[in-house]
Amino acid sequence: MIDSLLAGNAKFRHDEYAPNQDYYHTIAAQQKPKVLWIGCSDSRVSEDIVTGSRPGTLFVHRNIANIVAFNDVNIAAILDYALLHLKVKDIVVCGHTRCGGIAALEAGYIEDSYIADWLCVASEALERTEKACRRRSMTHEQKMELLARENVKLQIRHLEHIAIVKRMRKRKTWPRLHGWLYRVETGGIDIVVDGNAAPQA
């Protein structure tokens, strides 16, 4: 597999980089991404491919189940850099269907302590989903999709309460917060939270 990756890089340099050297030299000098993408680490969800984005367009943070944790120094540093230095005006939290982290959250029994602790941050989404399941009948697949959606909504709410985001949204009309759900079975993206339509704080 490693040899395949290196061969892929050679193909990229020949087919993409060489014909577009001016563009790549421009972004080599300075990055000016337009969007901060907070997504899942799942290997099936490659943000540049599923959105048709070129290098230099997205500033990216990925973790298990696309979680925004209040005590995560990593996400805090990324938000600081994206908002204060890169002047990014849009943040996308993108979950996806058939997510292993979401499945583990729903199953409830996880032996790996770090994963279990991490998924606790999404527990409110599970509570909301369980309440919805008690109100109406759902298949397991429907429940899992709803849980993925509720998790995206929850992480948007977490973002809204992080100090730097809250402070900036009081003074400006950005960052705009968008919640999306990528469907691994179709390749489509559903809008869960419309950041363009949401009232600004």
Catalytic annotation, residues: 40, 42, 44, 96, 99
List C-alpha distances in Å: 115 to 122, 127, 148, 169, 175: 12, 18, 17, 32, 29
Contact, 153 vs 125, CB < 8 A?
yes
Structure token pair of residue 167: 């402070």
- The sheet with strand 176-182 has its strands ordered as 58-63, 35-40, 90-96, 176-182, 189-193
**Strand-strand pairing, 58-63 and 176-182:** unpaired
